[in-house]
Structure 1
Amino acid sequence: MPSNDPLILFYTTFFGKPVDIASIHCEGRWTLDKRRLSEAAAVVFHIPDFREFGDAYKYPGQYWVAWSMESRQNYKRVTNPDVMRHFDITMTHETCSDVWMPYLPRARGWQEMVARPIAAKTEEAPVALFQSAPVNRSGRIDFTAELSRHIKIDSYGRHFHNRAISGPDLGRKTKIETIARHRFCLALENSIEPDYVTEKIYDAFDAGTIPIYLGAPNVDEFVPADSYIDASAFPSAKDLADYIQHLIETPEDYEAYFAWRSKPLPDSIVKRLPGLETPTFCRLMNLVRQRLEERPHPPSGRPTLPFGRVSFLRTRLRRWKKKIPS
């Protein structure tokens, strides 16, 4: 590994856990050691862990990276110009990001989806739900409660829990196998905003089940046409339940939702897949290298404390209370 390769420091944790830099398989230097802050060419901050970055000094010429795959509605610091002006690179699920980090499966993921046979729908309840978080900016909790009055829903998550998983829970494998036994799966985002299309709808595709989607207004840019039921298109939960019942009773209409599996992916997806073949952090490293090469002269000066002395002291006090090394 070249010694002059840029050093990228992950300054914060990822939802309280250290970033697994051992899983980053591309050329470059990566560290979690804050003591190396001054020598880092770029510093990555996971925005949801904002309480951890108040004591960070920014050195001249250093690139700060704002990293988040969460909704702006849930982490409003992404919309705060006083915060974001300190960051030079964005790495999020939004298509306008400098380093795009979507939930969109790569080409191989789509190939594996359509190659997998559709499992028999053996559960009495037509609809499955996996939801544990209480975040409800999309209104999904009220939506689920109302829909459940008109059609049976098996809910396996902590929210609205009424059904236990049979056998050992092996994580995503068990989740997909469970969804696969139902005709439909609720894919309800916690917030509604453009580009925020998470794994929920893709899990349903992977399971060979029709997703009932509530979320991003531009979801059609990220999924095949006629592959899901748009919950927002129905005047009421009862109207949606009646449509679900119609599909159950009309096999040809139900099976039409799987026609996409035998067709080429739409251009809106295909044109984005090549850029995703390079892993996200490798694309970040490439961008940092590019920006360093384009810079005519190395900047000079003293480091600054972007978030101020009060934030510095609060962050250090929090680290001291939790006995976290600074």
Structure 2
Amino acid sequence: MRHFDITMTHETCSDVWMPYLPRARGWQEMVARPIAAKTEEAPVALFQSAPVNRSGRVDFTAELSRHIKIDSYGRHFHNRAISGPDLGRKTKIETIARHRFCLALENSIEPDYVTEKIYDAFDAGTIPIYLGAPNVDEFVPANSYIDASAFPNAKHLAAYLQHLIETPEDYEAYFAWRSKPLPDSILKRLPGLETPTFCRLTNLVRQRLEERPHPPSGRPMLPFGRVSFLRTRLRRWKKKISS
């Protein structure tokens, strides 16, 4: 990383933070949208197409499916087709909304890596079953999701889901956050997200260039070192000769 002047990633320590966290207007639209009726027979929905499995989500899904019915609409573990035309995210949200729960399983488990999966479930008015970032609570309201890692195994998780199905007041408690202010851990981050990510990047680049002393006129900058510079010039020269 020593070769890079600026980092722009999902990590909060990046120079330019690029999260999946919705902006303020996105949260407002979520809570304003009514919760749809849960009409599907299968309690759990899953949208997953990538086979990446650094989090163990593939094995987790397979084991959970032995104890509770899962409708999987993605290419992975596919057992259910989308009804009607596929209009992208709109169809995805409408499909999730008909299920009581949605699996929100990250492909990797690392701090700050909270992707759109859990926010899609919020948007659909469905309870996410989350597996991923250990600090997810910094990016979502309290008591808004089910932590898959809190259960000793998939069988215990399935039993808890069945309890929620049979106990409406306990199920509905997961939506209480919709009528409360967002926690400070989210609110303090929202103002910085109003400026588009690449605008923040270009602003920082401009600032860094203004702060950095300019090299002597005509002297090349070698951010990757002299050897890398010479190798690059040699490759370009060989390419020019061969053409």
TM-score of the aligned structures, taking structure 1 as reference length: 0.68
| Cα distance, 1:285 vs structure 2 | 1.2
Q: Is the 8 A contact 2:215 2:221 kept in 1?
A: no
- Per-residue CA deviations over 1:83-129 (Å, capped at 9, x if unaligned) read x2211000111000000000000000000000000000000000000
Per-residue CA shift, 1:244-300, capped at 9, x if unaligned?
Answer: 000000000000000000000000000000000000011011111211222244455
Change over 3 Å in CA distance of 1:316–1:156 after alignment to 2: farther
> Aligned in 2, Cα 1:319/1:110: closer, same or farther, shift over 3 Å?
farther
Q: Are the structure 2 counterparts of residues 101 and 299 from structure 1 closer, same or farther at C-alpha, using a change threshold of 3 Å?
A: farther
Secondary structure, in 3 states, of the residue corresponding to 2:7?
A: strand
2:193 is the counterpart of 1:276 = yes
Contact 1:187 1:201 in 2 (8 A): yes
After superposition, the Cα gap between the structure-2 partners of 1:325 and 1:245, relative to the gap in structure 1 and judged at 3 Å, is farther
Q: In structure 2, how many angstroms separate the alpha carbons of the residues matched to 1:307 and 1:150?
A: 54
1:198-246: CA deviation from partner (whole Å, max 9, x where unpaired): 0000000000000000000000000000000000000010000000000
- Structure 2 gaps, min length 5: none
1:162 aligns with 2:79: yes
1:173 is aligned, of 90, 93, 106, to: 90
**Contact kept? 2:93, 2:121, Cα under 8 Å:** yes
Q: Match of 2:62, SS? A: helix
Q: Is 1:319–1:325's contact at 8 Å kept on the other side of the alignment?
A: no
| Structure 1 residues 139 and 295: CA distance shift in structure 2, 3 A | same
1:231·1:240 contact (CA, 8 Å) conserved in 2? yes
1:324 Cα deviation after fit: 18
Is contact 1:248-1:254 (8 Å) kept? yes
**Alpha-carbon distance in structure 1 between the residues aligned to 2:112 and 2:180:** 24
CA shift in 2, pair 1:308/1:88, >3 Å: closer
Whether the aligned pair in 2 keeps the contact of 1:91 and 1:98 (CA below 8 Å) is: yes
Describe the shift of the 1:257–1:296 C-alpha distance in structure 2 as closer, same or farther (beyond 3 A): same
Cα pair 1:176 1:203 within 8 Å, conserved: yes
Relative to total residues, which structure has the larger helix share, 1 or 2? 2
Pick closer, same or farther for the CA change 1:319–1:175 going to 2, 3 Å.
Answer: farther
- In structure 2, do the counterparts of structure 1 residues 274 and 121 end up closer, same or farther at CA, with 3 Å as the change threshold? same
Q: What corresponds to 2:5 in structure 1?
A: 88
What secondary structure does 1:324 align onto? helix
Distance 1:325 1:186 in 2: 54
Whole-angstrom distance in 2 between the partners of 1:324 and 1:127:
61
| Distance 1:289-1:229 versus aligned 2 partners, 3 A rule | same
1:158-237 aligned within 5 A = 158-237=75-154
CA distance in 2, matches of 1:214, 1:226: 15
Spell out structure 1 runs of 4+ moving beyond 6 A.
Answer: 304-326
Question: 1:181 and 1:305, CA in 2 relative to 1: closer, same or farther beyond 3 A?
Answer: same
**Residues 294 and 306 of structure 1: is their aligned pair in 2 closer, same or farther, counting only changes over 3 Å?**
closer
Call closer, same or farther: CA 1:286–1:148 in 2, change over 3 Å.
Answer: same
Change in Cα spacing, 1:116 to 1:312, as seen in structure 2 (3 Å) is: farther
